[in-house]
């Protein structure tokens, strides 16, 4: 069965979701973004592209992922039934492969021979290196020196997959600096290089394009809910780092009835440097080419962030989320490090599923809400990834 029609992109022609998004970038990148936007819209209209992508999703990435009724968890909590959308079962262990397969197929179609990416924890880097190996593309991954030291295993995985990991020594030597370096590389090597951004962030068309590649999660979820429950869920919950797994599951449901809840990293406190709650505690500004909520100080300097889950440890958020927040189409909340750790342990024991600590933020929120809801209601949680990568953290956190 082939993938149904692409969802309508939710931004205007200039890449704005309401007041958010746009293209705040150096002039030399304009033509590359224009070329990318055109190639993307042509690809989306070309059935051979969607058929290839659809086949890769099924035969390579393992889609459709199951919608699993977490029966023990539901019984343990009382109240609403809790379903898990099992993105943790995707190849490479998370939803990130949905995006990198799409973008690398597009890059190959555009005649690009080289893929570049940035990575924090290494999850997007691994998904990118995987897709690049599959498509026969050269791959370079920018990674802050601090993150390289923290994530040795993923560095080695990327190298095994044939990618080159380039250490970034500037700034705080973490993800936001790696993104800056990747943009610099792109500007100098535009002709043969595609920059594979890892979430619904960055200048237009990235937020729209990544949303499209991730919205397969939500399209499958609709079908599976109708099959199992005969109706749409009462609530959808997903964690929000850059915002791609959440936009992916939300997008076909926006305005359709279910309450959409994005969960940010509450970290260890509400002071700057203790959390990653861009939407809940941030202000509007420009970061990495787009206008959106972000964490900055009174001088407009981007502040440090913290989360026990590396994937939520980012000072910005995709512009569409800023729009969904302002328009009230989705709501955003936070879950702390310790609540997420508790939820990861709970899910492991009750269901035998060890979630990524990112995903555990969404699980924690569902654990708070389900008992307050009726047993005729149901929640879908996007389980964005598996927790194998987090066992060292969980051991250290006790
Ligand atoms: C990277 C990552 C996230 C955060 O990224 P989004 O773009 O917000 O989805 C969440 N969960 C997992 C498992 C990740 O690897």
Q: What is the pLDDT of residues 288-321, one digit of tens each?
A: 999 999 999 989 899 999 999 989 999 999 999 9
236 alpha carbon, distance to own chain's centre? 15
How confident is the model at residue 8, as a pLDDT? 44
What percent of the chain shows pLDDT beyond 90? 91
271 band by pLDDT with thresholds 50, 70 and 90: very high
Evaluate: CB of 125 within 6 angstroms of ligand 1: no
Q: Is the CB of 199 under 6 A from ligand 1?
A: yes
Cis peptide bond upstream of 83, omega within 30? no
- Asked if 384 is an active-site residue, the reply is yes
User: Per-residue DSSP letters for 29-59?
Assistant: GHHHHHHHHHHHHHHHH-HHHHHHHHHHIII
pLDDT tens for each residue of 167-176: 999 988 889 8
320-347 pLDDT, tens digit per residue, is 999 999 999 999 999 999 999 999 999 9
Please give the distance, rounded to the nearest whole angstrom, from the Cα atom of residue 310 to the centre of ligand 1: 9
User: What pLDDT shows up at residue 374?
Assistant: 98
Give the list of residues 6+ apart from residue 344 with CB closer than 8 angstroms, or none: 354, 355, 357, 360, 363, 387, 390, 394
- Spatial CB neighbours of 286, under 8 Å, sequence gap ≥ 6: 24, 292
74 lines ligand 1 (CB under 6 A): no
pLDDT of residue 3: 38
Residue linked to tokens 């924890």: 121
Q: Looking at residue 151, what is its pLDDT?
A: 86
DSSP, collapsed to helix, strand or coil, labels residue 3 as coil
Residues near 18 by Cβ (< 8 Å), separated by ≥ 6?
322, 323, 326, 327
Q: What is the mean pLDDT of residues 144-156?
A: 91
Alpha-carbon distance of 108 to 241, in angstroms, equals 28
Residue of 384, 386, 388, 389 to test ligand 1 pocket, by largest number of atoms within 8 Å of CB = 384
Q: H or E segment at 383? A: strand 378-383
Whether 318 and 285 have beta carbons less than 8 Å apart is answered as: no
Q: Are 214 and 200 in contact (CB under 8 A)?
A: yes
Question: Is residue 36 exposed (0-12), middle (13-18) or buried (19+ Cβ within 10 Å)?
Answer: buried
Query: Residues 71-123: pLDDT tens digits?
Result: 999 999 999 999 999 999 999 999 999 999 999 999 999 999 999 999 998 99
Task: Report pLDDT for 95.
Answer: 98
Residue 357 pLDDT > 90: yes
Radius of gyration of the chain (CA): 19
Q: Are strands 81-86 and 67-69 parallel, antiparallel or unpaired?
A: antiparallel
9 pLDDT tier (thresholds 50, 70, 90):
low
| Whole-number Cα distances in Å, 87 to 13, 30, 93, 270 | 31, 34, 7, 30
Nearest CA to ligand 1 atom 14: 311
Q: CA 146 to CA 128: how far, in whole Å?
A: 20
pLDDT score at 35: 96
Among residues 124, 148, 125, 142, the alpha carbon closest in space to that of 181 is found at 142
Residue 96 CA to ligand 1 center (angstroms) comes to: 7
Environment class of 109 (CB within 10 Å of its CB; exposed 0-12, middle 13-18, buried 19+): middle
Pick the catalytic residue from 87, 118, 181, 212: 118
Task: Kindly state if the Cβ of 241 falls inside 6 Å of ligand 1.
Answer: yes
Instruction: Tell me phi and psi for residue 353, to 5 degrees.
Output: -120, 115
Ligand 1 pocket: which of 206, 358, 365, 390 to mutate (most atoms <8 Å of CB)? 358
Q: Which of 220, 292, 384, 389 is catalytic?
A: 384
Q: Is 122 in the pocket of ligand 1 (CB under 6 A)?
A: no
Is the minimum distance from the CB of 316 to ligand 1 under 6 angstroms? no
In the chain, what are the helix, strand and coil shares in percent, each to the nearest 5?
Answer: 50, 20, 30
Token match 């040795």: residue?
152
Q: What is the pTM of this model?
A: 0.96
Cα separation, 322 vs 19, in Å, equals 9
pLDDT at site 295? 97
What residues contact residue 366 under an 8 Å CB cut-off, 6+ apart? Answer: 82, 237, 379, 381
Give yes or no for a contact between 266 and 275, defined as CB atoms under 8 angstroms apart: yes
**Are residues 9 and 208 in contact, defined by beta-carbon separation less than 8 angstroms?**
yes
Q: How far is the CA of 311 from the centre of ligand 1 (A)?
A: 5
Q: Tell me which H or E stretch contains 211.
A: helix 206-214
- The residue nearest atom 7 of ligand 1, judged by CA position, is 244
Q: What's the CA-to-centroid distance between 312 and ligand 1, angstroms? A: 7
Q: Does 2 score more than 60 pLDDT?
A: no
> Does 215 sit in the ligand 1 pocket, CB within 6 Å?
no
pLDDT, residue 108, reads 97
For the cut 50, the answer to whether the pLDDT of residue 7 exceeds it is no
Nearest to 269 by CA among 295, 306, 299, 322: 306
Q: Does ligand 1 come within 6 angstroms of the Cβ of 154? A: no
Q: Is the CB of 96 under 6 A from ligand 1?
A: yes
59 and 134 in contact (C-beta within 8 Å)? no
- What percent of the chain is predicted at pLDDT more than 70? 98
Q: Could you tell which of 122, 123, 151, 382 is best to mutate to test the pocket of ligand 1, judged by most ligand atoms within 8 Å of the CB?
A: 123
Please give the C-alpha separations between residue 110 and each of 31, 46, 49, 76, 105, in angstroms, as whole numbers: 14, 13, 12, 51, 9
pLDDT range class, residue 1, cuts 50, 70, 90: very low
Taking all residues of the chain, what is their mean pLDDT, rounded to a whole number?
Answer: 95
Ligand 1 nearest atom to the CA of residue 243, by list position: 8
90 lines ligand 1 (CB under 6 A): no
Measure the CA–CA gap between 261 and 297, rounded to whole angstroms. 27
Query: Is residue 356 lining ligand 1, measured as CB closer than 6 Å?
Result: yes
Across 126-138, average pLDDT: 98
Q: Of the residues 50, 85, 87, 96, which is catalytic?
A: 96
């Amino acid at each position: 069965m082939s993938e149904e029609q692409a969802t309508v992109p939710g931004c205007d022609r200039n890449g704005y979701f309401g007041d958010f998004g746009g293209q705040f970038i150096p002039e030399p990148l304009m033509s590359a973004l224009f070329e990318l936007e055109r190639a993307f819209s042509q690809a989306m209209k070309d059935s051979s592209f969607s058929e290839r992508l659809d086949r890769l999703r099924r035969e390579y990435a393992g889609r459709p992922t199951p919608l699993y009724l977490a029966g023990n968890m539901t019984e343990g909590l009382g109240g609403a039934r809790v379903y898990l959308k099992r993105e943790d079962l995707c190849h490479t262990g998370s939803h990130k492969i949905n995006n990198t397969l799409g973008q690398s197929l597009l890059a190959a179609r555009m005649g690009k021979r080289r893929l570049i990416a940035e990575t924090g924890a290494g999850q997007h880097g691994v998904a990118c290196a995987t897709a690049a190996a599959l498509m026969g593309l050269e791959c370079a991954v920018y990674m802050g020196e601090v993150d390289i030291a923290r994530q040795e295993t993923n560095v080695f995985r990327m190298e095994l997959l044939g990618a080159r990991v380039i250490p970034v020594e500037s700034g705080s030597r973490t993800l936001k600096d790696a993104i800056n370096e990747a943009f610099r590389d792109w500007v100098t090597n535009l002709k043969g290089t595609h920059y594979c951004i890892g979430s619904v962030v960055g200048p237009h068309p990235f937020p729209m394009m990544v949303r499209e590649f991730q919205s397969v999660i939500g399209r499958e979820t609709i079908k599976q809910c109708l099959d199992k429950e005969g109706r749409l869920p009462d609530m959808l919950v997903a964690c929000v780092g850059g915002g791609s797994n959440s936009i992916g599951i939300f997008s076909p449901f926006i305005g359709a009835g279910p309450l959409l809840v994005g969960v940010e990293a509450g970290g260890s406190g509400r002071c700057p440097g203790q959390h990653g709650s861009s939407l809940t505690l941030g202000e509007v500004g420009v970061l990495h080419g787009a206008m959106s909520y972000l964490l900055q100080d009174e001088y407009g300097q981007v502040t440090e962030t913290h989360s026990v889950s590396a994937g939520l440890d980012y000072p910005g958020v995709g512009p569409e989320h800023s729009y969904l927040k302002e328009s009230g189409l989705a709501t955003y909340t936070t879950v702390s490090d310790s609540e997420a750790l508790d939820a990861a342990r709970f899910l492991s024991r009750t269901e035998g599923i060890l979630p990524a600590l990112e995903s555990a933020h969404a699980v924690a929120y569902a654990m708070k809400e389900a008992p307050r809801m009726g047993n005729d209601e149901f929640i879908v949680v996007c389980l964005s990834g598996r927790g194998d990568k987090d066992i060292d953290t969980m051991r250290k956190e006790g």
